[in-house]
Amino acid sequence: MKARRSCLSVPGSSESMLAKAAGLGADELVLDLEDSVAPAAKQDARTLVGNVLDRGVLAGAPVAVRVNGIEGPLFADDVSELAGRGIGSVVVPKIERPQDLDRVASLLDSLGAPAADVRIQALVETARGLMRAGEIASATPRLEALILGYADLAASLARPPGSDRPEIWLYAQETVLVAARAAGLQAIDGPYLAIRDEDGLRTRAEHVRALGFDGKWAVHPAQVPVINAVFTPPAEEFERATAIVAALERAEQDETAGATELNGQMIDEASRKLALHTVARGRAAGLA
């Protein structure tokens, strides 16, 4: 499992922000060519991002690029010019049907060896995309994550400004999570835009972590430590999960044992599945 506790969105038009991004502690840097870049600056931003990648400024940091939408004139060049320059994935906005991802995968395939290992992350941020999340999640082997995008989804659903109570997003969160898990993908929560509200960020991150999400986008460097902390399993939780896996492995030596006891509590195959997920999260976060 790749660590995607924190995915920091970095405007592709800001050379100063791109230069600082690698040292900010995010698990993944998402170099943004879409919403954070003014329309007139998008082609220059693509060139800047390419130059930054070529110079190795971001060496050692997992990098994705959020390209412009597939229906626009910039999409194909965004992918073609950047896919072979050391990025791990392309983040594609406003995916609404599996055929959208077929188009992205076909373009990557056409680029040959330089793009052979480039993966796809799909942003679910429209009503149509949410309705087809399960189909989208199974569209292509290149897909490795679904991301829930709140701002555009709010517009698509015609929700009035200020409609940000956590409970109104539960259906969307569960839908994206279930679709991702059914397809063996990561589920990533979208950003919390109140960048000065650390308590609010922590509350939202803890909520989606409890649901089962793997991580959350950040739109400001100050959000990264909070998100990383929330999505890193506590030491006690990680140690217990490791102990569960070990105990069940020992129990397998007795072919008649479908369950065993650990510290006075019965554990079984269901316990193992949950423990393995916790162990994977912990190891991805650097726990040993």
pLDDT digits (tens, 9 = 90+) for 22-34: 999 999 999 999 9
What does the DSSP 8-state code read for residue 26? -
Q: Per the structure block, which two tokens stand in for 200?
A: 């609010």
Q: Per the structure block, which two tokens stand in for 153?
A: 């989804």
Give me the pLDDT at residue 146, please.
98
Give me the pLDDT at residue 258, please.
65
CA distance 20 to 39: 24
Q: Per the structure block, which two tokens stand in for 227?
A: 């998100």
Give me the pLDDT at residue 92, please.
98
Helix 75-82 / helix 42-55 crossing angle, nearest 10 deg = 10
CA distance 98 to 135: 6
Helical ranges in the chain per DSSP H: 15-21, 42-55, 75-82, 98-110, 127-131, 133-137, 150-156, 170-182, 198-211, 223-231, 235-251, 269-284
Phi, psi of 252 (to 5 degrees): -65, -20
Residue 173: Cβ within 10 Å count:
20
CA distance 188 to 5: 8
Assess contact for 94 and 69: CB atoms under 8 A. yes
Confidence of residue 201 (pLDDT cuts 50, 70, 90): very high
**Is it the case that residue 252 has pLDDT exceeding 80?**
no
**Is it the case that residue 50 has pLDDT exceeding 70?**
yes
Q: Which domains does the chain have, with CATH numbers?
A: 6-231 (3.20.20.60), 235-284 (no CATH)
Assess contact for 87 and 120: CB atoms under 8 A. no
Phi, psi of 101 (to 5 degrees): -75, -30
CA distance 187 to 165: 21
**Is it the case that residue 126 has pLDDT exceeding 60?**
yes
Give me the pLDDT at residue 9, please.
97
SS3 helix, strand, coil % of the chain, rounded to 5? 50, 15, 35
Confidence of residue 235 (pLDDT cuts 50, 70, 90): confident
Strand pairing partners for 28? Answer: 7
CA distance 116 to 139: 17
Give me the pLDDT at residue 255, please.
62
